[in-house]
């Protein structure tokens, strides 16, 4: 683990509690193996059908480092002493395994062997300090580098979702749709909206263009339509999140409700499942304010299914939605409506 003394003193007591909790498991053998891809080095491939929502893998990071260490290929974000300390702290086996991760962000001859590997393979790791830190502007956000999760390659329409599970102190991959045996398991390295923005990101970060299936197969017309769908999703979510007076938001109008449905379909097509869940969650909040409890309830239930699929049943997303769902049920029963949650 790499960090300033103050950061580490904050994290370690919490980490020790979380580390006592077992890693979530999908019960059986790992449903994937790591093998060569055609153009992208190693990748993760399903060894059997993996159902939508299934936990592909939960893994503790091998190296945790400040998020700044994700950096880019033009500067070495940390002093060599930080990297030396991290390498020295690993067991011999872990060190050897870690060094087999690819380095696509080489910083030149003077670079430390760890720096480019963290930049190439690191994922974000939320804040590590517990529930109360959610609203804390001093949130410590880390980069987590894994021996297995880091093997998952990017796809602009991925079939799996990565997230940091704070309470269990691990990274998790969930399938966001059914994955066939033999299919590559992919995640998203960037949430940039347009194809051009993502290509620029890949050039800057990895000195190559995006080699994902979606990009390789896309015609210019496909790209234009995909950009439009993604823009629509981002704009709607932004409007819903910033609806300062939700009761004045025009969702009750039929046409607006249908527009939300169409945009949800865009999000699904583009593999934007987190945004899909968020739109339903925020839309439900607004429908509640507009005294339309049945629609609010339906959307919230759908948001719950989406959160559970991409984040797991015990995630904060599901817990938050459950609290609101229970509240809605109480209100609806008080008005004589029959309903149950979830
Ligand atoms: Zn791509």
**pLDDT, one tens digit for every residue, the chain (342 residues):** 556 656 655 555 555 566 677 788 877 789 999 999 988 889 999 999 999 999 999 999 888 877 665 555 555 566 777 778 878 888 888 888 888 998 877 666 556 778 888 888 888 887 655 444 444 444 556 788 999 999 999 999 999 999 988 778 889 999 999 999 999 999 999 889 999 999 999 998 888 899 898 898 999 999 999 999 999 999 999 999 888 888 888 888 888 889 999 999 999 999 999 999 999 999 999 999 888 889 999 999 999 999 999 999 988 889 999 999 999 999 889 989 888 998
What separation in Å is there between the alpha carbon of 211 and the centre of ligand 1?
Answer: 6
Question: Tell me, what DSSP letter sits at residue 131?
Answer: G
Q: Give me the helices (H) in the chain, please.
A: 5-20, 80-89, 92-99, 113-121, 195-206, 213-217, 220-241, 254-269, 273-289, 293-311, 316-334
Helix or strand (DSSP H, E) at 32: strand 32-36
Q: How much distance in Å is there from the Cα of 190 to the middle of ligand 1?
A: 10
Question: What is the Å distance from ligand 1's center to 159 Cα?
Answer: 13
Domains, the chain: 5-190 (2.170.270.10), 222-334 (1.25.40)
* Residues 44, 287: Cα–Cα separation, whole Å: 41
| Residue from 248, 240, 336, 232 nearest 293 by CA | 336
Classify strands 170-175 and 63-66 as parallel, antiparallel or unpaired: unpaired
Rounded Cα distance, 54 and 173, in Å: 9
pLDDT digits (tens, 9 = 90+) for 124-169: 887 655 444 444 444 556 788 999 999 999 999 999 999 988 778 8
Distance 202 CA to ligand 1 centre (A): 9
How far is the C-alpha of 52 from the C-alpha of 50, rounded, in Å?
Answer: 7
CA of 292 to the centre of ligand 1 (A): 39
């Amino acid at each position: 683990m790499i960090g300033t003394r103050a950061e580490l003193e904050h994290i370690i007591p919490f980490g020790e509690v979380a580390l006592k909790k077992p890693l979530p498991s999908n019960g059986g053998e790992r449903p994937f193996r790591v093998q060569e891809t055609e153009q992208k080095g190693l990748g993760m491939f399903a060894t059997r059908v993996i159902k939508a929502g299934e936990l592909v893998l939960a893994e503790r990071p091998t190296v945790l480092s400040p998020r700044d260490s994700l950096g880019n290929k033009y500067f070495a974000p940390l002093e060599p002493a930080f990297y030396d300390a991290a390498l020295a702290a690993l067991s011999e086996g872990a060190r050897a395994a870690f060094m087999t991760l690819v380095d696509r962000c080489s910083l030149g001859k003077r670079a430390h062997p760890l720096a480019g590997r963290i930049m190439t393979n690191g994922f974000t790791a939320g804040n590590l300090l517990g529930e109360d830190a959610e609203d804390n502007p001093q949130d410590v956000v880390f980069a987590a580098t894994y021996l297995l999760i880091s093997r998952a390659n990017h796809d602009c329409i991925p079939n799996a979702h990565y997230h940091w599970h704070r309470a269990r102190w691990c990274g998790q991959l969930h399938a966001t749709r059914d994955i066939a045996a033999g299919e590559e398991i992919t995640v998203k390295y960037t949430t940039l909206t347009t194809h051009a923005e993502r290509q620029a990101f890949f050039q800057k970060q990895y000195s190559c263009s995006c080699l994902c299936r979606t990009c390789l197969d896309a015609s210019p017309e496909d790209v234009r339509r995909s950009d439009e769908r993604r823009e629509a999703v981002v704009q709607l979510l932004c409007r819903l999140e910033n609806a300062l007076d939700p009761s004045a938001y025009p969702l009750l109008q039929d046409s607006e409700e249908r527009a939300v449905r169409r945009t949800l379909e865009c999000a699904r097509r583009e593999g934007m499942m987190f945004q899909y869940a968020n739109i339903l969650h925020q839309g439900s909040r607004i429908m509640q304010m507009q005294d339309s409890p049945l629609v609010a309830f339906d959307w919230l239930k759908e948001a719950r299914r989406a959160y559970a699929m991409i984040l797991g049943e015990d995630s904060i997303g599901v817990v938050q939605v459950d609290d609101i769902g229970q509240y809605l049920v109480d209100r609806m029963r008080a008005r004589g409506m029959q309903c149950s949650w979830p």
